[in-house]
């Protein structure tokens, strides 16, 4: 089903969504555009190319409380905080970001153990994807096409959003999506012409130019395993790396986290929060032994995890080519060219 609304009435749409429950959407501040929990209908914007950080925080917040406890005489009881997650909407996710959810599902819901926190939010959250309109040029750091992601792919979204002249087209993809659109009675029906436009846009999105090389996932996986032991290669690639966590924190598919107890006075929470395989002490064992003491080993782990191990374990590349890691890397390390070099070694 296809609905539409004038761009001028975007605010109404937001109002309606806010009325239904929590809403995450892109908001512009003095530093750029990022996903935020919306308070006022005026906050969100659709005038952006890509958010600085990935929207993963809606499902996998940077910091999430798991258990609350109070240190008491005798037994210290802990109670799980699986706070009632309300049906939530995330609006304005670019196709590559939407794709990342499926990749994360494999990990958080796979391996025979489901992560209740991720599962709960996935179950209750409606994704409104946001296609890249034909006039918008991809950023030089992007390479989603290499990952075979179209600039206007709608798969993975519940509702797919696309700009058309003065209008916003909303396509219901999943049942949940269609249900949502159904509730938004003030939306107008999309016309045949809109349909055609949409189809064309999606097709056009497929061969939208970003940086590209012909990536065969399985071949890359094997190649990287072969290159793994080539320390000189990795040392050269990593010589600029400062081993910070920027690339992993802005990455939509990085999932590593740490768990810690935070106690003040005698009240505390057990909390999980983003961690990064790039950190020196990520693998440091209590004994003092560290299997990855050197920077190149950590960079190698990160690259191979995405372009080899993940493929071997889950069958997909753990990267969507959003270019965030490259754009925000303090020393301009570029995963795209790095992998290209490795694969063509």
Partner 1 sequence: MQNPYLPMPVRVIKVTTEVDTGEIKTFRLAFVNKEDEERFDYLPGQFAELSIYGKGESPIGIASSPTQKGYIEFTVQRAGTVVPGQVTSALHDLEEGAIIGIRGPLGHPWPLEFLEGKNIVVVGGGFAFTTLRSLVNYMIYEENRRRFGKISIIYGARLPGLLCYKDELALWGKRDDLDLCVTVDKGNEAWEGREGFVPAICKDVAPCAENAVAVICGPPIMIKYTLPVFFNLNFSKENILTSLEMRMKCGIGKCGRCNVGSKYICNDGPVFSLAELDALPRDF
Partner 2 sequence: MSRIGVFVCHCGLNIAKTVRVSEVVEFAANLPEVVIAEEYRFVCSTPGQELIAGDIKKYNLDRIIVAACSPLMHEKTFRKVAEAAGLNQYLVTIVNIREQCSWVTEDEDVATKKAKALINGAVYRARLLAPLVSRFIDVNPEVVVVGGGIAGIQTALEIAAVGRKVYLVERTPTIGGHMAQFDKTFPTLDCSACILTPKMDAVLQNPNIELLTYCEVAEVKGFVGNFDVKIRQKARYVDHAKCNACLACVEKCPGKGESEFDEGLAKRKAIYIPFPQAVPQKPVIDRETCTYFIKGKCRLCEKICEQKAIDYEQADSYIEIKAGAIVAATGYDLMDVKPLAQYGYGRYPAVYHALEIERLFNSAGPTAGKVVMRDGREPQSIAILHCIGSRDKNNYEYCSRVCCMYSLKFAHLLKEKTHGDVYQLYIDMRAGGKGYEEFYSRLLEEDVKFIRGKAATVTHRTKNPEEEGKLIVEVDDTLTGKFARIPVDMVVLAPAMKPRADAKDMARMLNLSTDKYGFFMEKHPKLAPLSTMTDGVFIAGACQSPKDIPDTVSQATGAAAEALTIVSKAKMELEAATAMVNAAACSGCRNCVTVCPYSAPSMNEEKGVSEINEALCKGCGLCAAACPTSAIITRHFTNEQVMAEMEGLMEF
Partner 3 sequence: MTAFKDIEERLKEKAKDLLEKGEVECVFAYGRGYDERHPRPYVAKTKEDAENLVFNEYCTFNLARYAVKEPRKKIAVAAKGADSRALVQLIQEGKLKRENLVILGIPAAGMVDAKSGLTLDEKTTGAFANPVVYDVLLGDKLPEAKNSPYEVLGELEGLSGDGRWEFWRKEFARCLRCFACRKACPMCYCDPCFMDQSRPRWADKSPTLDGNTMYHLTRFYHLAGRCVDCGECTRACPVDIPLYLFHKRLAKDCEEMFNQAAGMKLEDKPVLVDFRVEDGDEILL
> Which residues lie near partner 2 (CB under 8 A)?
71-73, 264-266, 288
Tell me the closest approach of the beta carbon of residue 213 to partner 1, in angstroms. Answer: 23
How many Å separate Cα 23 from the centre of its chain? 16
Check if the beta carbon of residue 45 is closer than 8 Å to that of residue 28: yes
Q: Which two tokens stand for residue 216?
A: 């065969």
Given partner 3, partner 1, partner 2, none, residue 250, with its beta carbon under 5 to 8 Å by kind, binds partner 3
Site string for partner 1, 233-252 (x = CB under 8 A): --------------------
Given partner 2, partner 1, partner 3, none, residue 285, with its beta carbon under 5 to 8 Å by kind, binds partner 1
Tell me the closest approach of the beta carbon of residue 298 to partner 1, in angstroms. Answer: 10
- Token match 């512009």: residue? 28
- CA dist 157 and 171 (Å) reads 10
Check if the beta carbon of residue 234 is closer than 8 Å to that of residue 299: yes
Q: In degrees, to the nearest 5, what angle opens at C-alpha 4 toward C-alphas 9 and 37? A: 55
- Chain positions 17 to 76 lying near partner 3, rule: CB under 8 A, are 31, 52-53, 62-63
Q: Could you tell me whether strands 88-93 and 23-29 are parallel, antiparallel, or unpaired per DSSP bridges? A: parallel
Tell me the closest approach of the beta carbon of residue 175 to partner 3, in angstroms. Answer: 36
Given partner 2, partner 3, partner 1, none, residue 253, with its beta carbon under 5 to 8 Å by kind, binds none
Residue among 75 and 189 whose Cβ is closer to partner 1: 75
The enclosing H or E element of 224 equals helix 217-227
How many Å separate Cα 236 from the centre of its chain? 29
Given partner 2, partner 1, partner 3, none, residue 309, with its beta carbon under 5 to 8 Å by kind, binds partner 1
DSSP state of 272: E
User: Which of 215, 37, 65 minimizes the C-alpha distance to 125?
Assistant: 37
Residue 141 is a binding residue for partner 3 (CB under 8 A): yes
Given partner 3, partner 1, partner 2, none, residue 246, with its beta carbon under 5 to 8 Å by kind, binds partner 3
Q: H-type helices in 43-138, by residue range?
A: 95-108, 116-124
Q: Judging by beta carbons within 10 Å of its beta carbon (0-12, 13-18, 19+), is residue 73 exposed, middle or buried?
A: exposed
- Token match 């020196």: residue? 280
Residue among 32 and 291 whose Cβ is closer to partner 1: 291
Residue among 73 and 113 whose Cβ is closer to partner 2: 73
- Chain positions 192 to 231 lying near partner 3, rule: CB under 8 A, are none
The enclosing H or E element of 12 equals helix 10-20
Chain residues in the site for partner 1 (CB under 8 A): 66-67, 69, 71, 74-78, 80, 82, 107-108, 111-116, 225, 228-229, 255-261, 263, 268, 270, 272, 275, 277, 282-288, 291-292, 297, 301, 304-305, 308-310, 312-313
Interface ranges with partner 3 (CB under 8 A)? 31, 52-53, 62-63, 140-141, 239-240, 242-246, 248-250, 258, 260, 262, 271, 273-274, 276, 279-281, 326-328, 330-334, 336-337
């Amino acid at each position: 089903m296809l609905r539409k609304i004038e761009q001028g009435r975007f605010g109404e749409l937001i109002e309606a969504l806010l009325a239904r429950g929590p809403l995450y959407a892109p908001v512009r501040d003095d530093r750029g555009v990022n996903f935020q929990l919306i308070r006022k209908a005026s906050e969100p914007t659709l005038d952006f190319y890509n958010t600085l950080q990935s929207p993963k925080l809606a499902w996998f917040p940077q910091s999430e409380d798991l258990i609350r406890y109070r240190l008491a005489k005798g037994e210290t009881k802990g109670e799980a905080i699986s706070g009632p997650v309300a049906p939530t909407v995330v609006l304005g996710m670019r196709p590559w970001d939407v794709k990342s959810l499926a990749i994360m599902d494999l990990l958080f819901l796979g391996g025979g153990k489901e992560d209740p926190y991720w599962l709960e939010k996935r179950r209750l959250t409606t994704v409104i994807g946001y296609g890249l309109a034909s006039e918008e040029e991809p950023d030089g750091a992007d390479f989603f096409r290499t990952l075979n992601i179209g600039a206007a792919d709608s798969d993975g979204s519940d509702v797919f959003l696309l700009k058309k002249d003065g209008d916003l087209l909303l396509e219901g993809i999943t049942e949940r999506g269609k249900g949502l659109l159904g509730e938004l009675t003030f939306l107008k029906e999309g016309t045949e012409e809109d349909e055609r436009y949409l189809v064309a846009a999606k097709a056009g999105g497929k061969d939208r130019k970003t940086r590209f090389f012909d990536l065969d996932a399985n071949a890359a996986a094997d190649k990287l395993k072969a290159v793994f032991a080539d320390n000189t290669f990795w040392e050269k690639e990593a010589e600029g790396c400062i081993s910070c966590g920027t690339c992993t924190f802005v990455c939509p598919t990085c999932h590593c986290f740490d768990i810690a107890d935070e106690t003040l006075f005698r009240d505390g929470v057990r909390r999980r929060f983003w961690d990064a395989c790039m950190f020196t002490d990520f693998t440091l064992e209590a004994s003092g032994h560290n299997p990855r003491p050197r920077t190149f080993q950590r960079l190698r782990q990160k690259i191979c995890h995405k372009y080899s191990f993940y493929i071997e374990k889950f069958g997909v590349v753990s990267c969507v080519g959003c270019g965030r890691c490259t754009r925000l890397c303090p020393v301009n390390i570029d995963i795209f060219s790095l992998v290209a070099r490795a694969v063509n070694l």
